[in-house]
Structure 1
Amino acid sequence: MADQYEEDWIFYPSDVEMNGTNISFDYTLAEPCPLSNNQSVELVVGPYIHSIICILGFFGNMLVIITYACYKKTKSMTDVYLLNVAVADLLFVVVLPLIVYNELSSWAMGELTCKFLRGTYSVNLYSGMLLLACISTDRYIAIVQARRSFQLRSLSYSRVICAVVWTFAILLSVPTFYFYHRYQPSHIIDDLFYEEGEESHRVVNNTDFICEFSFTDNETAWAVKVLVPSTQMAVGFFLPLSIMIFCYTSIIVTLLQAKNFQRHKAVRVVLAVVVVFIACHLPYNIILLYDTLNLFSEQSCVTVDTVQVAKTITQTIAYLHCCLNPVLYAFVGVKFRDHFRKIVQDLWCMGKKYIAPRRFSRMTSEIYVSGRRTMEGSTENSSFTM
C-alpha cells in the first residue's frame, strides 16, 4: 500500500571514504513505522465502503443531472447551484475509485494521470463545498431578504458565480497539480551492502510506484505540506460552515416567525442540512488539524498509526456527504420528486418498448409543468422549496 510507511529508511554514517582510502562504515538504521493497523483498515475501507459510496453517489447525482437536463430545467439560482453541485460530486465519485485502486496496489498509471486525478479530486472538493455555501446564501436571500430577492437572484448572476467558484477551485488546486508526482519511495528500495571492500549495489523493484507529493528541497516541502491542508480546512470547511451557520440561523429565525406548517417543516430540513454537513466533515477536519500541527514533530509509531487510522475512517465519513447531497438538496423538494417520478414513468414506458405511451407521458409531463408554472413561480422566492 502506498502510505503504509510514514518515514523513509534513514542511514546515519559514522565514517566515510576519503582520498581513495577504504574506511569502514557503521550505519545506524532508523526503521519506518509500518502502520499495520491503518493498512488493515484501508484494506476494508478502500475496496468495499468506498465502492458503496461511489455507486450511491454516482446514481444519485446522475439522477439529479438527468432531471435538470431533461425535465425540470434550470429556472432559478438554486437550480443552477444544485446542478453544479451534482456535477462536482459526480466527478468526485468517478475519480475516487481510480485513486483508491492505485493506492491499494501501486500507481500503474503515468505521471500525467497522477497529476490529473489528484488535481481533479482537489478541484471537486473545493467547488462542491463552496457551491453548498452559495446555496445557503441563495436561500438566505430568498427567505430573509425576500424583498430584494428578485434583483439579486437571477440566472445570469448564478452562472457568473458558478464560473468564479470553479475558477477559484482550480487556482486553489494548483499546488496539487504541480507537486504531485509518480515516483518510487525509498522504503520500497532494497539496499544491499556487501562485505567490506566491495562496491554497494542497489536492487530496485520498478513496479512499486506511488502518486504523492514530491519535493526537491526541504523548504518547499515544509511550506506545501502545511499550506495545502490548511487551505483545505479554511476554504473547504470552515468558510462554508461559517456561511451556512449564519444563513441558516437567520432562515430558521424567519421561518419560526411564520405560523405555517410548511414553514416549520422547512426548519427541520434546514437543521438536517447543517447537522449532516457538520457530522460528515467536522471529525475529519479535526484530525487533519491535529496531524498538520504535529506534522514535523517526533511521534511514536503507535501515535502515528492511530492518527492515520482516524484519518482514514473520518475521511470516509466525509465522502458520504456526496451521496447525501442529492437527498438533502434535491429529492427533499416536492417539485423535484414530481419530475423524478416522470423520469421513472418514462423509463418504464421505454422499457416496455411502447412508443405511444412514452409520447403520451412526455406530453402529460409538459402539460403538467406548464400548468404548475404559475403556482411554482409565486412560491419559489418566498419559501424553502427546491
Structure 2
Amino acid sequence: MEFSTSDYDYSQTTDYTDEGLCNLDPNPMEVTIQTYIHSIICAFGLIGNALVIVTYIFYKRTKTMTDVYLFNVAVADLIFVVALPFIIYNEQHSWLMGPAACKMLRSAYSINLYSGMLLLACISGDRYVAIVQARRSFGTRSHALMYSRLICSAVWVFAVALTLPTLLYTERFEEQNLGVDTVTVMCQLSFSKNETAKLMKVVVPSLQMAIGFLLPLLVMVFCYASIVCTLLRAQSSQRHKAVRVILAVVVVFIVCHLPYNVTLLNHTLSLFKQRSCEAEKMKLQVLAISKSIAYLHCCLNPILYAFIGVKFRSHFRQIMLDLWCFSKKYIYTARSSRATSDICISGRVSSDGCNNMSSFTA
C-alpha cells in the first residue's frame, strides 16, 4: 500500500507501507542523543551569532557590503537557534503551543534556510567583485552600503515568499495513537486535498534543494574559484592563508548541507512508492542525523565569516575588555570604578582607530 499523502512531515508517528501500519516513532535513545546535539547547537549558535550582532551594533558598525551581509546572516541564524528549542520541546512532549506558534516556529527554519544561504551567496559575490573585478568595480562600490541593504531587503522578502507554503499549510491537529486511547497533538503540514498534498510534497523540498542549496553552492564555487585563481597570481604573503580560509568555507558548506539534501532528494523521490517499514525507519534516521549536521552550519558561520577576521577579532577583544571593566566597576570602590571607566573609554577609542583594515580577511 502507498504512503498516505495527507501529511508532508517526514517524522510521522504512523503511516502505511507494503506491510501495513508502521510505527515510525524514534526510540528513546535517539531522542536523547538528538536533544543533547540540538542543545549544543542552540547554545553555541546563540552565543556566536549574538556576539556578531552585538559587535556590529556597538563596536564595528557596518562599513562594507560584506559587513551588512554578515550582520543579516547572524540575524537569520539567531532566529533559527531561538526557535529550535521550542520546536524540539513541542515535538517531544506533544505540541503544547497554539496554532499561531505552530506556524511561526515551523516557518523559522524555512526563512533561515533561504535567507541564510542566499546571503552567503551574496558574500561570495561581493568578495568576487572586490577582488577579481577590483578595478572595474572601484567606482560602483562607493554606494556599497545602499546596494547591500537593498539586496538584503530583497533576500528577506524572497525568503518569506518561499516560506508561504509552509506558513499556509502548517496546522496544529490531533492524531489518535495506535493501540492506546490517547491523542497526540502535532504541528505538521496538512492538506485537505490529495492533489495539493502531492504537489507540495514535491514543490517544498525541491525549492529547498534548488534555492537553499544548489544555487548558493554554484555561486560560491564559481566566485571562490575565481578568487583563488586571482590570489594565486598575486604576490602576497597572505595568499596561502586566504586560499585555506576559502577552501574551509566551501568544504564546511558542502559537508553540512550535502548529506541532508541528498537524503531529502532520495526520500522525496520515494514518497509515492511502496517501501518496507524497516527501510522507511532507516531513511528517517538518516534524515534526522543529516538534518542535525545541517543545523551545525549556524554555529560555524560566525567562526568562518566573522571571528576569523583580524579586524573583527580586535573588536571582539574590545568587547571582552569592556565586559571585564564594567564588571570590575561594580566590585571595587568608587575611585577604582572611575579608573576602570577611563580604561574602558580609552580602549574604545584605540579600537576605533584601527578601522582602516579591510573587512575581507580570508
TM-score by length of 1: 0.85
Structure 1 stretch displaced more, 88-97 or 346-355: 346-355
SS in structure 2 opposite 1:149?
coil
Q: 1:179 aligns to what?
A: 169
Distance 2:254 2:224 in 1: 13
Q: 1:264 aligns to what?
A: 240
Q: CA RMSD in A?
A: 2.0
Distance 2:159 2:116 in 1: 9
Residue 201 of structure 2 is aligned to residue 225 of structure 1: yes
**1:31 CA displacement:** 4.2
Structure with greater Cα Rg: 1
Once the two structures are aligned, what percentage of the paired residues are identical? Answer: 55
**1:30 CA displacement:** 6.9
Residue 69 of structure 2: which of 66, 76, 81 is its match? 81
Distance 2:311 2:35 in 1: 36
Distance 1:124 1:362 in 2: 37
Structure 1: gaps spanning 5 or more residues: 11-28, 192-202
Q: 1:46 aligns to what?
A: 34
SS in structure 1 opposite 2:137?
helix
Residue 15 of structure 2: which of 7, 31, 51 is its match? 7
Structure 2: gaps spanning 5 or more residues: 1-9, 330-336
Q: 1:325 aligns to what?
A: 301
Q: Deviations over 1:20-60 (max 9, x none)?
A: xxxxxxxxx97422235x43464133321100000000000
SS in structure 1 opposite 2:94?
coil
Q: 1:241 to 1:355 in 2, by over 3 A?
A: farther
**1:78 CA displacement:** 0.4
Residue 369 of structure 1: which of 349, 352, 358 is its match? 352
Q: 1:4 to 1:217 in 2, by over 3 A?
A: closer
Residue 40 of structure 2 is aligned to residue 32 of structure 1: no
Q: 1:273 aligns to what?
A: 249
Distance 2:201 2:342 in 1: 57
Amino acid at match of 1:33: C
Residue 48 of structure 2 is aligned to residue 60 of structure 1: yes
- Is the 1:57–1:93 Cα contact (8 Å) retained in structure 2? yes
Q: 1:128 aligns to what?
A: 116
Amino acid at match of 2:53: I
SS in structure 2 opposite 1:351?
helix
- Is the 1:5–1:32 Cα contact (8 Å) retained in structure 2? no
Residue 303 of structure 2 is aligned to residue 314 of structure 1: no
- Is the 1:68–1:74 Cα contact (8 Å) retained in structure 2? yes
Bigger relative contact order (CA 8 A; separation at least 6): 2
Distance 1:7 1:152 in 2: 56
Q: 1:88 to 1:155 in 2, by over 3 A?
A: same
How is 1:122-201 mapped onto 2 (pairs within 5 angstroms)? 122-153=110-141, 154-186=144-176, 188=177
Number of aligned residue pairs: 344
Amino acid at match of 1:369: D
SS in structure 1 opposite 2:11?
coil
**1:104 CA displacement:** 1.1
Q: 1:111 to 1:139 in 2, by over 3 A?
A: same
Q: Deviations over 1:151-180 (max 9, x none)?
A: 443100000000000000000000000000
Q: 1:24 aligns to what?
A: none
Residue 357 of structure 1: which of 327, 337, 340 is its match? 340
Q: 1:289 aligns to what?
A: 265
Amino acid at match of 2:23: P
SS in structure 1 opposite 2:135?
helix
**1:340 CA displacement:** 0.4
Structure 1 stretch displaced more, 99-108 or 162-171: 99-108
Q: Deviations over 1:165-220 (max 9, x none)?
A: 0000000000000000001124x2669xxxxxxxxxxx6x35x2000011101000
Distance 2:67 2:33 in 1: 34
**1:359 CA displacement:** 3.7
Distance 2:289 2:234 in 1: 41
Amino acid at match of 2:175: P
- Is the 1:127–1:166 Cα contact (8 Å) retained in structure 2? yes
Amino acid at match of 1:342: Q
- Is the 2:318–2:351 Cα contact (8 Å) retained in structure 1? no
Distance 1:124 1:268 in 2: 27
Amino acid at match of 2:309: G
Amino acid at match of 1:72: K
